[in-house]
Amino acid sequence: MTALSSSEGSGLRTNAPRAGNPRPATTRIASLGVRAVPALCVLGALGLGLGLIALTGVPLARALPAFARGIVGSDYALVGSLMRAVPLSLIGLGYILAERANLTNVGGEGQLAVGGIASAAVALYGGAAALPRPLAFLAPLAAGALAGALWGALAGALKARRGSNEVITTLLLGFVGLQMVYGSVQSEALLRQPRTDSSTLPESLPLPAATELPLLARGSGLPLHVGLVIALLLAVLVGLLLAKSSLGLRLAAVGQNELASRRAGLRVKSLIVLALGASGALGGLAGAIMIQGDQHYLTAGFSSGFGFDGLVVGLLARGSAWQVPLFALLFGALRSGGLAMEMSAQVPAAVVLVCQGLIVVATAAAAALGRRRA
Amino acid sequence: MIESLGVFVASTLRLATPLVLGATGEVVSERAGVLNLSLEGMMLSAAFAAALGAHASGSPLVGLGAGVLAALLLAAAQAWLSVRAGANQLVVGIGINLLALGATTFAYREIFGGLSREVIPSFEAWSVPGLASLPLVGPALFQQTPLVYAALALVGFSAWLINATSFGLALRAAGEDPRAADQAGVPVARVRMLCVLYTGACAGLAGAFLSVSSISTFTEGMTNGAGYLAVTAVILGAWRTSRVLAACLLFGAATALQFLLPALGVALPTALLTMLPYLLALAAVSGVVGRSRPPAALTLPFRRGSSR
Amino acid sequence: MTTATTPSDPLARAMPERAGASPAPASSTHEEGTTPEPEREGALCLRRVGKRFGELIALDDVDLEVRRGEVHCLLGENGAGKSTLCNIVFGVQRPDTGTLTLLGEPYTPARPADALRAGVAMVHQHFSLVGDLSALDNFRLGRARRRSDELAAKARGLCERFGFSLELRRPVEQLSVGERQRVEIVKCLLDDPALLVLDEPTAVLPPPQIAGLLELCRQVAASGCAVLLVTHKLAEIGAVADRTSVLRRGRVVETVDMRGAQLDALVRSMVGREVRSLAATAASASSAPARAASGEALLEVEALRFEDRLGVERLDATFSVRRGEIVGLAGVEGNGQSELAAILSGMLKPASGHVRLAGRETTRSSPRELARLGVGCVSEDRHAVGCHLALSVAENLFLGSLERFTRFGWLDRSRMSQAAEAVLREHQVRGEARAPMSTLSGGNQQKVVLARELGLPGLAFLLAAQPTRGLDVGAVEAVYAQIREARGRGVGVLVISSELEELLSVSDRVLVMYRGRIVGDVPGGLEQHERVGSLMSGQGVDPIAGLGAAAAERAA
């Protein structure tokens, strides 16, 4: 077929049509095995982590309880893990949403960043504090989501119109976003707090109390905020969207075969922009939640790797929305535990990074070998 | 002012060198169809291993060898996973980066104690006789550590490899049309794996440069995105070694300006300079500035028997 | 023996020297006189080779022998298993059962490199050249040890021997199709292979070049190489084969020595039934009275032009289709039909010209808009464009009209499945509404696609591009029955097909396309075969005369 080509422009062809015969269901045991693969990878990586801990000379008897205390040792710790899981979930959900249309969004870190910038800007200088109660914190959240949406949609538009591979564009935009945070807190004309003396840090002013996310469990003093509810709601929403809605089917069709989708009358270009825009919106929302719920002011590097972690969560969930919060909780717990382990047992938190890296690599390998066998 | 120019040129070269080393190696892989996001991790591991090796042996050369070995190890993992197993190259790259960051940080803390600022034995600068005493840019250009000159030589060597050898022909075919290459008898998988190892060796040089040539120490996460920047340079350079060299020099210059401009009293937000490389690459890949066309099979695993 | 044979035997007509039981004609592969052929030694032997993909049996107990110095044709329809066999011979796939031997030795290539080393070379249907590289660089691929000047000299020697010239240094993608094929052939011959396999080599050649290619095959065989020519075109077999094996549904049903062979007997083997009766039933159906072919044009194509990436003009067409008529578009593949179909279905934008549907400009309309206006299209590439293999049948049927089953964004899948089942029953499709499209046979998949297009509300015009490609006879008949039924409803139909007999049987009017232009407009009917055939090959290119003659006939 010479007249048509399935990738317009010169983009990298990561979106070759996923045609071909899907395998018929194999025996029950084999398919159970396939589903257990991510769990096995996690266990294997954790095992290796234990080995590393042993290498440090710190007895496991001291390290592991410290780790566990960091996760569930106190209400405070538990809440910490949950709150870490919130942005991870949102980014993961964004990843699988785009993945349904065979689009790979690796720019979560940048979408977090611009979401945080927009949220801080609107909260501090956009008059959000003056709005009535729910709007005071909803407006900056919406701003964050919108900023993230624009960031994602930009990559989507480049792909739809010019065929630019979205892996490259979202990655590059991600770095740009990170630098934008850095830039916006460097200058008082932007978001930097007024310099009172030479030791004033490059950060924004603290957010007005009205724009902070309301706390659940008000009396306990725990930093458990409404972001948790938002994340859970969105997990349900995204799951329903992908499984039950017409839009979900259209995204799947585009993801499988762009040409046939065009032939069938779908608005392929719009769907691509929508998918990446929605994916970015979730990332932007995550950034806003981090600023308004956890940190309460904007500083460079506030996203501290949550973007890539969230990406990994999305990868591990393999397209299933309900698995995203589970893996997010896992990674959030790993982080909390790791930090606690470092503080009280002097085991470097880097062990957790090693485990995460191993999990990712092992899962990718297992998925690939599983495909090869097919 | 003149001293500033000299400092600027020297800084540019020094900052660009790891990029040149990493990006030139990466061009070979990408022309063959493999995208190594793990370049960052390879460079970081090499930096650490080189520091460790030099510290233990007292010789920066041993450190260099250790660095290259460490990077080759990671490259072998990336090669096997992406080419033989056909795993998603991007996912594997990100995973290896996490692994490398964690492993080097962990090992550094355990061995060096975390906050030490051990001075690592490193390379002395070489002076090119005669040229080094040129006014203005003499010292800047011709009084650099040997790896800087090695980087330039590497560019020439890689260009020759890609364009003038039969291996280069095979790798170009593997990156453009692996199916046709396979049917002509080219061992696509083997060629791709060798290319990734080549990238690993170059990344090893790049990472070692950081710890035993440029800054004579190791700090956690010291590559700080240099690997991603190198990949960006490959995009901006349209996968051609000469243009990639230019892109790396440009990025080096932008980074050097970050320090120079405040010293000169120019109040340009440094964020603009740090963003510049990525913005340029974005412009290149979206066809706004020129037309940057990647190898047709880039990031696509090859499997005999599947159509197209 | 004259060429004035009965009109219903178009195959014999095309190859006068093979018609009837006359003595063997002189040809370069046979010895002079009537002495019997010395037994040629076998070069490639397949014994009981089998291959299956899941449920699908691609090859079933295949026995095949290709001898040195012979041109052996492998004849089979699309879907009979030819590609799988080629893949196995060349090492792209491994057989499940059976053995292969090459020159007496066991032959088990695990990859194409093994096949090349053993002395097997293959000219692929879609060419295995890297477009970016020059011909010389393509020759050098996989031959690291040989020097490039030595390769160039040998290539030039081969070109001289076969009487053509080649550009060695330009990127191959800039060459024409015929030139690229010659590069591919020379590349194969550089290592003096023992066996040369050609997979459907004439499918991409314009008619004037086909004879040259076949002659080349004869010369290669004469030099001692074994040649395996895989094709579904009978004309070529008649011209060049020493022996022919017929492949049907994965089995070799017979192997025939071509001296004194009857081509229509071969056709019967290939298709499994008289091809004549297909034509007969079709002829009787089309001569049925009064189709409501109203005079007004439904689809008008005016000076529609398209240039490809390299600036070569591929299309420059003007024609029209009326309501209630079936217009066939005949032509060798690669003469602009694909581009025309893509433009008419909204998938490609023309460089200039107009397409009008009932007077309304639709030149650059999207597929979505075209569907709304009542234009249905069955694309020529069913798997890449026509349907989503991994989606279910119901989803394929209604992907373009999900609004019917959607409320507040929620998709009512049970209602969709019910509607799908009704459609499947109506069109007698064997398959489940919720099953993936890939589980259906090719014929049933095409029925689903056709049902989808025919089910468009307000269908006014149907474009069917290569609608019977890869289908068995039963499915072919079902497809044409549906098309005729649509015509009866007043729908205007344009059928693009390279199967000339089918086209002539079903069309009211046949347009002939050659080099992107319409070079003839003749009435339908099998008796037009010779005329259309010569128009297809570019002879008798006199549009005015062709049209004038047709008009005169209609008036008579």
Annotate C347-398 with three-state secondary structure: CCCCCEEEEEECCEECCCCCHHHHHHHCEEEECCCHHHHHCCCCCEHHHHHH
Q: Say what the pLDDT of residue A275 is.
A: 97
Half-sphere exposure (Cβ direction) of A142: Cα atoms closer than 13 Å: 8
The rounded mean pLDDT for chain A is 83
Beta strands per DSSP E along chain A? none
Confidence at B170, pLDDT banded by 50, 70, 90: very high
Closest CA to B294 of B305, B285, B306, B303: B285
Which A residues, 8 through 27, put their C-beta within 8 Å of a C-beta on chain C?
Answer: 17-24
Question: How big is chain C, counted in residues?
Answer: 556
CATH 3.40.50.300 fits C279-390+436-555, yes or no: yes
Residue B257, CA distances (Å) to A301, B36, B221, B271, B276 in order = 22, 28, 22, 11, 12
Mean pLDDT of chain C: 80
- Residue with the larger pLDDT of the pair B71 and C57: B71
Can you tell me the distance from the alpha carbon of C71 to that of C227, in angstroms, rounded to the nearest whole number?
5
Tokens 């600068």 correspond to B125
Residue A10 reports pLDDT greater than 60: no
Do residues C11 and C235 touch, judged by C-beta distance below 8 A? yes
Say yes or no to pLDDT of B291 above 70.
no
Choose the mutation target among C388, C389, C412 for the interface with A, i.e. most A CBs under 10 Å. Answer: C388
Q: Give the pLDDT confidence score for residue A31 in this predicted structure.
A: 57
CB C258 within 8 Å of CB C244 = yes
Q: In the CATH scheme, what architecture does the domain B2-115+140-285 have?
A: Orthogonal Bundle (1.10)
pLDDT at residue B304 greater than cutoff 80: yes
pLDDT confidence band for C104 (50 / 70 / 90): confident
Task: Enter the DSSP assignment of B182.
Answer: H
Residue A252 to residue C348, Cβ atoms within 8 A: no
Tens of pLDDT, residue by residue over A42-59, are 788 888 888 888 877 778
Residue in the block written with tokens 């092992």: A362
Alpha helices (H) in A18-132, listed in sequence order:
28-55, 60-72, 75-100, 108-125
Interface of B with A in 101-140 (CB under 8 A): 101-103, 105-106, 109-110, 114
CB contact under 8 A, A361 and B270: no
Chain B: list its partners (3+ Cβ pairs within 8 Å): A, C
> Measured between alpha carbons, how far is B307 from C87 in angstroms, rounded to an integer?
12
Measured between CA atoms, the residue of chain C closest to residue B185 is C113
Checking if the pLDDT of C81 tops 90, the result is no
Closest listed residue to residue B39, CA positions, set B50, B27, B56, B53? B27
Phi, psi at B138, each rounded to 5°: -50, -60
Average the pLDDT over C154-176 and give the result.
86
Of C113, C127, C133, the CB nearest to B173: C133
Nearest-by-Cβ selection for B85 from A351, A355, A369 = A369
Q: Give the model's pLDDT for residue A18.
A: 39
Nearest residue in chain C measured CA to CA from A6: C384
Mapping DSSP to helix (H, G, I), strand (E, B) and coil, where does residue A293 land?
Answer: helix
Instruction: Please determine, for residue B87, whether its predicted confidence score (pLDDT) is greater than 50.
Output: yes
Amino acid identity of B92?
A: V
> With 50 as the cut, is the pLDDT of residue C271 above it?
yes
Residue A263 has pLDDT above 50, yes or no: yes
| Structure confidence at residue A35 as a pLDDT band (50, 70, 90) | low
Out of A278-292, C103-117, C228-242, C514-528, which region has the weakest mean confidence (pLDDT)?
A: C228-242
Given CB atoms, is C457 within the 8 Å cutoff of chain A?
no
> What letter would DSSP give residue C204?
G
Query: Which pLDDT value is given to residue B48?
Result: 93
Which chain A residue's Cα is nearest to B233? A172
Whether residue B303 has pLDDT greater than 50: yes
pLDDT at B119: 75
In 3D, which of A151, A181, A175, A173 has the Cα closest to residue B285?
Answer: A173
Nearest to A171 by CA among C188, B281, C176: B281
Q: C 98-157 residues with CB below 8 A of B?
A: 111-113, 116-117, 122, 124, 127-133, 137-138, 140-144
Considering only the beta carbons, identify the residue of C131, C140, C143 that sits closest to B177: C131
Per-residue confidence (pLDDT) for residue B263, from 0 to 100: 75
Residues B102, A179: C-beta atoms closer than 8 Å: no
Q: Quick count: other Cβ atoms within 10 Å of Cβ B184?
A: 23
Looking at chain B, which residue has its C-alpha nearest residue C132? B176
**What are the extents of the domains in chain A?**
59-192+202-373
Q: Model confidence over B88-120: pLDDT tens digits? A: 888 899 889 999 999 999 888 888 775 566 677
Q: Is the pLDDT of residue C405 over 80?
A: yes
What gap in Å lies between CA B268 and CA C503, rounded to an integer?
A: 72
Distance CA C347, CA A187 (A): 50
The answer, yes or no, to whether residue C289 has pLDDT greater than 70, is no
Cβ contacts (< 8 Å) between B115 and chain A: which residues?
none
Structure tokens at A342: 């470092």
Element (H, E) at C312: none
Following DSSP, what letter does each residue of C463-526 receive, concatenated? EEESTTTT--HHHHHHHHHHHHHHHHTT-EEEEE-S-HHHHHHH-SEEEEEETTEEEEEEE-SG
Is any Cβ of chain B less than 8 angstroms from the Cβ of A367? Answer: yes
Judged on CB neighbours under 10 Å (0-12, 13-18, 19+), B137 is middle
In this prediction, residue C146 carries a pLDDT of 82
Mutation for testing the C interface, residue in B166, B194, B293, B306 having most C CBs under 10 Å: B166
CATH of the structural domain A59-192+202-373, one choice from 1.25.40, 1.10.3470, 1.10.287, 1.20.1260 = 1.10.3470
**Domain residue spans of chain B:** 2-115+140-285
Cβ contact B269–A186 (<8 Å)? yes
The mean per-residue pLDDT over the stretch A137-160 comes to: 94
Report CB contact under 8 Å: A368, B301: yes
pLDDT 10s digits, B193-251: 999 999 999 999 999 999 888 887 888 888 888 999 999 899 889 899 999 999 999 99
Residue A155 has pLDDT above 90, yes or no: yes
**Chain C residues 265-284 with a CB less than 8 Å from chain B:** none
φ, ψ for residue A281 (rounded to 5)?
A: -60, -40
Return the closest-CA partner of residue A94 out of A315, A333, A302, A357: A315
Phi first, then psi: give them for residue A302, nearest 5 degrees. -65, -25
Query: Which pLDDT score, from 0 to 100, does residue C537 have?
Result: 66
Beta strands in C42-194 (DSSP E): 42-53, 56-67, 71-75, 97-102, 105-106, 120-123
- Which pLDDT tens digit goes with each residue over A193-250? 777 777 777 787 888 888 888 888 777 777 888 899 999 999 999 999 999 999 999 9
Token pair in block for residue A176: 């740009």
Asked whether the beta carbons of A275 and A156 are under 8 A apart, the reply is yes
Query: DSSP secondary-structure letter at B125?
Result: P
B85, B109, B287 ranked by CB distance to A368: nearest: B85
Q: Could you tell me which residue, B257 or C292, shows the higher pLDDT?
A: B257
Interface predicted TM-score of the whole assembly (ipTM), two decimals: 0.84
In chain B, what percentage of residues exceed pLDDT 90?
47
Torsions phi, psi for C435 (to 5 deg): -80, 155
pLDDT surpassing 70 at residue C519: yes
pLDDT over threshold 90, residue C233: no
DSSP characters over C314-337: EEEEEEEEETT-EEEEE--TTSSH
Q: Which of A141-155, C66-80, C267-281, C481-495 has the highest mean pLDDT?
A: A141-155
Q: Looking at residue B46, what is its pLDDT? A: 96
Distance of alpha carbon A260 from alpha carbon B57, whole angstroms: 62
pLDDT for the residue numbered B255: 87
Give the gap in angstroms from C-alpha A275 to the nearest C-alpha of chain C: 16
* pLDDT of the residue at C118: 92
Nearest-neighbour CA in chain A from B147: distance (Å): 28
Chain B, nearest residue to C133 by Cα: B173
A1 touching C (Cβ < 8 Å): yes
C10-22+69-94+109-241 maps to which CATH number? Answer: 3.40.50.300
Rounded Cα–Cα distance for residues B71 and A91 (Å): 31
Predicted local distance difference test score (pLDDT) of residue C267: 62
